Amino acid sequence: MTKNKPFIEIEPKWSKRINIFILILAAISFGLFNLNSSDIPEGMFEDPKTGKPMLLGKITIEELQQEPFNEWYQMEFDGYEVDTELTNAISDPGQYTYEVYLGTWCGDSRRELPRMEKIFTEMGIDMSNVLIVTLDRDKISPNGEQEGKDIRYVPTLIVSKDNQEIGRIVESPSSETATLESDLFEISLGIPPVPNYSDTE
């Protein structure tokens, strides 16, 4: 019986070289895969829309002051001037609890959260006592902190007293003439402003 010959005969010396070449290609591919994977720092997540790092879940303010978030965070923080007349008019701001839900991928969140921190600092509120939760584009946190909070848009700042919500600021101040400080002042008076989206829903 005649043994079938291979379609292409390769000399042993070339066969060895081809095998080495294949191993080199595999090593390069593996290295490129690891390089792409390491683009997202440990403890962060990849934004499926942009491929850039984002935070998810409960965080501290210090995590937003590290790369790659610190550039936009510090710029907004430094550029904002607090209306101290209004913050000083808020009686005992420490009697309230504050929760902020945001997305590090969101332009409104990037603008408003640094301003909120500056306002809270002026009010004597320790940021370690402010719950900060970062959400994905579906407004979901891995541990579900947003559940039952009716988070439609980010950022959402919820102000509570005695475990009862007394007001919230959604996306931005409640009107073109309002500010974060004026909205917080109205909340403290028991006349919380209506969120922007309420007129369209």
Tell me what pLDDT residue 1 has: 53
Q: Which CATH number fits domain 45-196: 3.40.718.10, 3.40.30.10, 3.40.50.2300, 3.30.565.10?
A: 3.40.30.10
Tell me what pLDDT residue 38 has: 47
Q: Where are the domains of the chain?
A: 11-40, 45-196
Q: What is the mean pLDDT of each run of 10 residues along the chain (201 residues)?
A: 54 58 54 51 93 97 95 96 98 97 98 98 96 98 97 97 97 96 98 75 42
Tell me what pLDDT residue 165 has: 98
Tell me what pLDDT residue 39 has: 73
Tell me what pLDDT residue 30 has: 45
Q: Counting every residue, how long is the chain? A: 201
Number of helices and strands in the chain (H, E): 5, 7
Cα separation, 170 vs 201, in Å, equals: 14
Tell me the sheet residues that pair with 45: 54
Please answer whether residues 152 and 139 qualify as being in contact, where contact means their C-beta atoms are separated by less than 8 angstroms: yes
